């Protein structure tokens, strides 16, 4: 039997593990339910893929997006690893054949959506498979408290009944303690080993810049960019407009939002991945599963909706490990808006409590417990200076920086990376 390290070299060509990968792999191999909480780009896939290669049997992978499944199966196949995914539009016979293969064909991975788990035929087949482990990708989708709640994720618990002995490994980049706790509960994990990495990305610098003329600023940032970029906006209209404007300034841009047809989405994502288009101007519809190595800039020209969302979006930069930058551009209008919303949020009955909870969530991520109690300091003053409900302000970012949760660049008075 090959060791995890040998498999990493043989199939992926990497000579060393990323932080926590090895610990997570060992926990799964020891038969533990395991939670792998690593930032986007932290290398979660390897954490369930290698255990299945070390052992006999097949790993069932539940994944939220067809695109994600196909991507991963293609990647595995390209390495000579036997992997299947149940995608939509299969005929009865095709599905039967596929499931038979998964039972008898020495496959190492079967990817499927949570919806598929409702099908009797699929359940019956899984019962017959030699399942070595169950991986739940984007596991936070099972929690109603998270951003990406997917009711069908509740079906996953059927796997526990079908295969009580297979350890479950839950993978996510969402780290709020509430969502984590809920995810563990909903997946019915049994005294799981939880591995959680710092969300600091050494190669990624976070900046918040004042820019009255945002377009001019984007152009300045991107004109010498040799890699790819994402510009995040919060409306479809602004996505279209900004993309047009960038094109007229000589930056090859495309737009992407929830209203773009599936076919167009696919084509644009491919054009961006292949570098025919350098910059994707997008709403948060351009998100989950975007794994493109050389994104040098992620630019938000409107304040992101939440810290959680922001980490995910900014985290798409620099996945190749080279230096990359996440920038929030704001102008006088944004500043006024934020201040107004902040005051309004504080004025609601639960406003203070919510702010407090949000902040403590993030303190818990990095320290394992909330560091502030409501009595320890003048909370109102703290909030009014640094944070705003879930809206990310430049001040909130600065606070996160001071607490070591993220690292801002030199321009913001701290180390440049
Ligand atoms: P996540 O699911 O956590 O966002 P992925 O599993 O998609 O991350 O991995 C992100 C990138 O990191 C991929 O390109 C992957 O090949 C790479 N990677 C994974 N493990 C290692 C490693 N040990 N050394 C170097 N690169 C790695
Ligand atoms: Mg992933």
- Note the pLDDT tens digit of each residue in 189-198: 999 999 987 6
Structure token digits, residue 348? 């609601």
Model confidence band, residue 347 (pLDDT cutoffs 50, 70, 90): low
Asked if the model's pLDDT at residue 330 lies above 90, the reply is: no
Q: Which atom of ligand 1 is nearest to the CA of 18?
A: 23
C-alpha of residue 254 to centroid of ligand 1, in Å: 27
Q: Which atom of ligand 1 is nearest to the CA of 17?
A: 23
- Asked if residues 252 and 279 have their Cβ atoms less than 8 Å apart, the reply is yes
- Ligand 1 pocket test: pick from 45, 64, 76 the residue with the most ligand atoms within 8 Å of its Cβ: 45
Checking ipTM against 0.90, whether it exceeds it is yes
- Note the pLDDT tens digit of each residue in 87-107: 888 999 999 999 999 999 999
Residue nearest to atom 19 of ligand 1 (CA): 43
- Note the pLDDT tens digit of each residue in 20-29: 999 999 999 9
Structure token digits, residue 206? 């976070």
Residue nearest to atom 2 of ligand 1 (CA): 44
Instruction: Report which DSSP code applies to 135.
Output: E
State the average pLDDT over residues 399-417.
Answer: 44
pLDDT at 208: 73
Model confidence band, residue 385 (pLDDT cutoffs 50, 70, 90): very low
- Note the pLDDT tens digit of each residue in 244-278: 999 999 999 999 999 999 999 999 999 999 999 99
- Asked if residues 278 and 251 have their Cβ atoms less than 8 Å apart, the reply is yes
Give me the DSSP letters along 241-310.
Answer: HHHHHHHHTT--EEEE-TTS-HHHHHHHHHHHHTTSS-EEEE-TTS-TT---TTEEEEEESS--S-HHHH
CA distance 24 to 321: 21
pLDDT at 178: 76
From first CA to last CA, the distance across the chain in angstroms is 41
Tracing tokens 């303690």 back to the chain, one arrives at 177
pTM over 0.90: no
- Ligand 1 pocket test: pick from 46, 201, 273, 313 the residue with the most ligand atoms within 8 Å of its Cβ: 46
Structure token digits, residue 178? 């509430």
Q: Which atom of ligand 1 is nearest to the CA of 16?
A: 23
C-alpha of residue 70 to centroid of ligand 2, in Å: 13
pLDDT at 183: 94
- Of the candidate ranges 26-30, 163-167, 265-269, 372-376, the one whose mean pLDDT is the lowest: 372-376
Indicate whether residue 40 lines ligand 1 (CB < 6 A): yes
- Of the candidate ranges 79-83, 125-129, 333-337, the one whose mean pLDDT is the lowest: 333-337
pLDDT at 371: 39
φ/ψ of 291, rounded to 5, equals -130, 90
- Asked if residues 76 and 49 have their Cβ atoms less than 8 Å apart, the reply is yes
Q: What is the CA radius of gyration of the chain?
A: 22
Q: Which ligand is nearest to the CA of 139?
A: 2
Q: Which ligand is nearest to the CA of 138?
A: 2
Structure token digits, residue 410? 């030199």
Indicate whether residue 318 lines ligand 1 (CB < 6 A): no
Closest CA to 62 of 224, 177, 186, 176: 186
Q: Is 375 helix (H, G, I), strand (E, B) or coil?
A: coil
Indicate whether residue 14 lines ligand 1 (CB < 6 A): yes
CA distance 28 to 22: 10
| Percent of the chain predicted with pLDDT > 70 | 77
232-247 CB burial, b ≥16 within 10 A, e <16 = bbeebebbbebbebbb
Asked if the model's pLDDT at residue 299 lies above 90, the reply is: yes
Model confidence band, residue 51 (pLDDT cutoffs 50, 70, 90): very high
Indicate whether residue 292 lines ligand 1 (CB < 6 A): no
């Amino acid at each position: 039997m090959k060791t995890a390290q040998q498999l990493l070299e043989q199939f992926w060509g990497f000579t060393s593990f990323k932080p926590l990968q090895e610990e997570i792999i060992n926990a799964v191999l020891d038969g533990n339910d395991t939670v792998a909480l690593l930032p986007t780009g932290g290398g979660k896939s390897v954490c369930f893929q290698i255990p299945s290669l070390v052992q006999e049997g097949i790993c069932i992978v539940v994944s939220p997006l067809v695109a994600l499944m196909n991507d991963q199966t293609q990647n595995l196949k390209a390495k000579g690893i036997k992997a299947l995914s149940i995608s939509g539009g299969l005929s009865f016979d095709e599905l039967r054949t596929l499931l038979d293969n998964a039972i008898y064909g020495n496959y190492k991975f079967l990817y499927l959506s949570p919806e598929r788990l409702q099908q009797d035929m699929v359940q019956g087949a899984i019962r017959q498979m030699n399942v070595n482990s169950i991986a739940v990708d984007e596991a936070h989708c099972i929690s109603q408290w998270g951003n990406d709640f997917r009711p069908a994720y509740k079906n996953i618990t059927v796997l526990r009944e079908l295969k009580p002995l297979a350890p479950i490994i839950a993978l996510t980049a969402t780290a709020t303690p509430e969502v984590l706790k809920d995810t563990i509960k909903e997946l019915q994990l049994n005294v799981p080993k939880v591995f959680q990495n710092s969300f600091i990305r050494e190669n990624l610098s976070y900046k918040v810049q004042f820019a009255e003329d945002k377009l001019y600023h984007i152009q300045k940032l991107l004109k010498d960019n040799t890699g790819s970029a994402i510009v995040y906006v919060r409306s479809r209209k602004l996505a279209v407009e900004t993309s047009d404007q960038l094109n007229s300034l000589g930056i090859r841009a495309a737009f992407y939002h929830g209203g773009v047809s599936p076919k167009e989405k696919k084509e644009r994502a491919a054009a961006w991945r292949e570098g025919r288009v350098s910059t994707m101007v997008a709403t948060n519809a351009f998100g989950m599963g975007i794994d493109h190595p050389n994104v040098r800039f992620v630019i938000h020209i409107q304040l992101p909706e939440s810290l959680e969302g922001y980490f995910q979006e900014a985290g798409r930069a620099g996945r190749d490990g080279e230096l990359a930058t996440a920038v929030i551009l704001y102008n006088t209008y944004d500043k006024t808006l934020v201040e107004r919303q902040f005051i309004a949020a504080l004025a609601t009955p639960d406003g203070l409590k919510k702010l407090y909870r949000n902040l403590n969530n993030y303190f818990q991520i990095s320290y394992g417990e909330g560091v502030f109690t409501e009595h320890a300091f003048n909370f109102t003053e703290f909030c009014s200076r640094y944070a705003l409900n879930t809206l990310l302000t430049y001040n909130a970012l600065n606070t996160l920086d001071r607490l070591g949760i993220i690292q801002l660049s030199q321009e913001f008075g701290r180390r440049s990376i």
